[in-house]
Amino acid sequence: MSLEREWWLRVVAVLVRPRVVFLALRVEDEDDLEARREPILLITLLAGMAGVALSPTWGKLLDQGGGVDGLVVAVITFVGGLFYGAAGYFVVGGALYMGARTVGSLGRWRLARQVLAFSFVPLALSLVLTLPVGLAVFGEDLFRSGGSDGGTGGKVYLGYRLVFLAWSLGLLLYGVRTTYGWSWLRSAAALLLLVGFVAIFSLIAVFI
């Protein structure tokens, strides 16, 4: 089996056998690193689009009226996903690297980014599993404020989507523990530092 095929299969395997996938990320052979680039790119894009879909602004896109229609929503979601995904991969990946280094990691920034990417496969998957449900139940109200998705059904739907985000965060903790070979406590400390570094980055961005 080719390395490329192995890494595409690991995109699915991380959902059921995460330990095997996170241990495989330790390999730094150039051919292996090359083989995982496209899967990581796809995960990053889909997770970024899922992040856009979770933002409050996305649920109000059709409030603008005029020329905003389903095609425009799709384009905004895709383009926004590119930016969200890139920011998550490099900025949050950088924060994870700094958090891991603070508690003793000798791993590279690339490793931290890749652990982050594979941890967010559930969030990427949520785009495929939740968007069709939302469209079937709420239709265009999914993109309008005050529509049929504003009641109990909308809250249940939001909870359904947040399950995938929680899954990804749990997988990130497990991935850090497995890849770096740490205890749960040390892994949790790295993630707490990640949150702190992201907050610092955000403040710097606001004041620049």
pLDDT digits (tens, 9 = 90+) for 109-162: 999 999 999 999 999 999 999 988 888 888 877 877 766 666 688 888 889 999
Structure token digits, residue 71: 């095609």
Confidence band for 31, pLDDT divided at 50, 70 and 90: very high
CA distance 98 to 95: 5
pLDDT at 172 (0 to 100): 97
pLDDT at 122 (0 to 100): 97
pLDDT digits (tens, 9 = 90+) for 156-183: 888 999 999 999 999 999 999 999 999 9
Domain residue ranges of the chain, discontinuous segments joined by +:
37-207
The pTM score is 0.91
Taking a C-beta distance cutoff of 8 angstroms, is the pair 171, 11 a contact? no
Instruction: Over range 71-98, report the average pLDDT.
Output: 92
pLDDT at 98 (0 to 100): 95
Q: Smallest Cα–Cα separation from 31: which of 64, 6, 62, 57? A: 6
